[in-house]
């Protein structure tokens, strides 16, 4: 049975491969999407990116009301600031994996307190872009 996994990406992740490659690497978001689809196998991946908080909230609502079996979310900077994203994730009620390309705990103090972690089933940080494929496989394990 095929499941649907939503992979939601927040602000500035459309700049992957160009933005601070010493932190985020050279992999583009299109390459990340391809990695996710390959890792998912027979499962369906809904892959999205937005620079707007409200759009991310709307996509979480769609996942909640739709057929999403789980959410993998890299809220980027909204991780640390967005009560609306947190509140939307609280409504999901299925597995949530919070994902960060860099190890947020090795960075500046402002990146150490994630609001999303308070509702996430699991957190993956510091594996670079390959963390996305790890997150997809981990989600599949959680759903098994």
User: Is 101 annotated as a binding-site member?
Assistant: yes
Task: Tell me if 17 sits within 8 A of 28, measured CB to CB.
Answer: yes
- 115's torsion region: left (phi>0), alpha (psi -120 to 50) or beta? alpha
Alpha helix positions (H), the chain: 21-24, 29-40, 53-65, 83-90, 131-143
Catalytic residue numbers read 24, 100
User: Is 9 annotated as a binding-site member?
Assistant: no
User: Is 74 annotated as a binding-site member?
Assistant: yes
- 20's torsion region: left (phi>0), alpha (psi -120 to 50) or beta? left
User: Is 60 annotated as a binding-site member?
Assistant: no
What residues form the annotated binding site for substrate? 74, 87, 101-102
What residues form the annotated binding site? 74, 87, 101-102
């Amino acid at each position: 049975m095929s499941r649907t996994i939503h992979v939601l990406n927040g602000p500035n992740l459309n700049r992957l491969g160009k933005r601070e490659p010493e932190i985020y690497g050279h992999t583009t978001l299109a390459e990340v999407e391809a990695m996710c689809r390959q890792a998912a196998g027979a499962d369906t991946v809904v892959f999205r990116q937005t620079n707007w908080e409200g759009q991310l909230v709307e996509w979480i609502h769609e996942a909640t009301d739709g057929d999403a079996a789980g959410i993998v979310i890299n809220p980027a900077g909204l991780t640390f600031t967005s009560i609306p994203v947190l509140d939307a994730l609280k409504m999901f009620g299925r597995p949530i994996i919070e994902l960060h390309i860099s190890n947020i705990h090795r960075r500046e103090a402002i990146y150490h307190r994630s609001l999303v972690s308070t509702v996430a089933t699991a957190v993956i940080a510091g594996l670079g872009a390959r963390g996305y494929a790890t997150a997809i496989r981990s989600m599949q394990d959680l759903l098994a």
